[in-house]
Structure 1
Amino acid sequence: MAVYQLDDELWFPDPHLGEEDGLVAVGGDLSVNRLLLAYSNGFFPWFSFRHWKEPHWYCPLDRYVIFPKEIHISHSMRQLMRQNKYIVTFNQCFEGVIRGCSSVDDRNQEYGAWLGSDMIKAYTELHRLGYAASVEVWEPQDMSSGKRSAKLVGGLYGVAVRNAFFGESMFSLVPNASKLALIYLAKTLDGMGGLFIDCQFETPHLKSMGGKHISYDKYMGILNGEKDVELG
């Protein structure tokens, strides 16, 4: 097991040589080309500004994904969707979503302000170039003034390459907003023939919505379009 030091060249080591927790390399930068190379090979960065001075690159061999057709929509979520209480949009407020994710207290405390200005800048540039996307959940506001308005109350963002979506973070200011965003993302990806949503690691929240473990080899087979690899 080893952790590799990256340099200015664009490369990543074999993830099978990394640490058990998925850490494979440190260093490098957050340039568009490096990020695209990373996600195309199953890597993603974590960056704790309180503890680390350079990006840490993870590529777990046990992957956790949601296949769009297998998204689980609970009875309570179906009821919420029928109520039309919230408005769901795509790519209408990317910066608002990523900044909402950066302010989520529990993740800040757990990982040490991982989503700082450098990360926000990097993913905003990916979005500008069409490689990152957001899902927004809006709550309509009081219409007494005659003006239509809505408040951003949740959402998620991630990277979209090779017909797959690599989820980075989500947030909710009201109950179930992030679940709603994930459901709409899965339904949209399903309609577009999307391969999977990469969830990075298992959480109870994601497990309840249909997440499952697959091997890194199967993950890359799907991502590379190998015909003999079964989806699901």
Structure 2
Amino acid sequence: MSVTKLVKFLQTERKPFSGTQQLTSAILSDSKGSYLRDQVVNKSDKNIIWWCRGGATIDDRYHWLKSNIVKQIEQLGNISVYIFLGTCNLTSKNKKGEIGLTSQQAHFTDEIISKLGQFVTLLKKYPSSKLTILEIPVYSITEWNRYKEHKNPETFQDQDNQLQKQIETINEWIHTTNQELGSRSPLFNHHLRARKQQSRGKHKPCKKYYNVKLYKDGIHPKQLLAKAWLAEIVEQVQKDCWA
């Protein structure tokens, strides 16, 4: 989307929460979640619990949740957990803070899917609670490394293309798994997706691309995008947790 379209989306009137809260919503995330948490202003948004840790991998947050879930349910009641992870698995940092693909092997996405599947197995032990795996937003190795002042960030464009394919493969599994769980992830990438005309011919196809300029650094959302993603999550929380 363009900035104009994001502004229009955010001007849509949001319905206030109604009914009785059945579940407490909690977002389990890496640093992406903290950017959304910073945009919380509405009373209804403040019902969401944020479990965010910068640089966290899927395994990091899984082991934390496994060790703390009983305690959290005792304190909060039954929970609706939203898993917002994957970035720190798909790419890795070097000593300069620059990132690159963790792996270019074809089977690598299967490894990440297997790690996310651990949450499905864990939450089955707590049938009164609910699980949703949030889709992984497409992000840019090139733009992050530009932000980190790499001398030739454009050399990472091929890695960006591979990363996009990896994310799309994992997201297909995420959406299928959520359907099986009776859950749904907001379509975060809808807000990044745009079409770029390849030529001026009327019947020439438009190529799909992602507007990574909506990120402050190629990974973390600027304020408008963070607000849009938060609005999408809050809408889903209302459906999942209130009746």
TM (norm. structure 2) is 0.27
Q: Which has the higher strand share?
A: 1
Q: Which has the higher helix share?
A: 2
TM (norm. structure 1) is 0.28
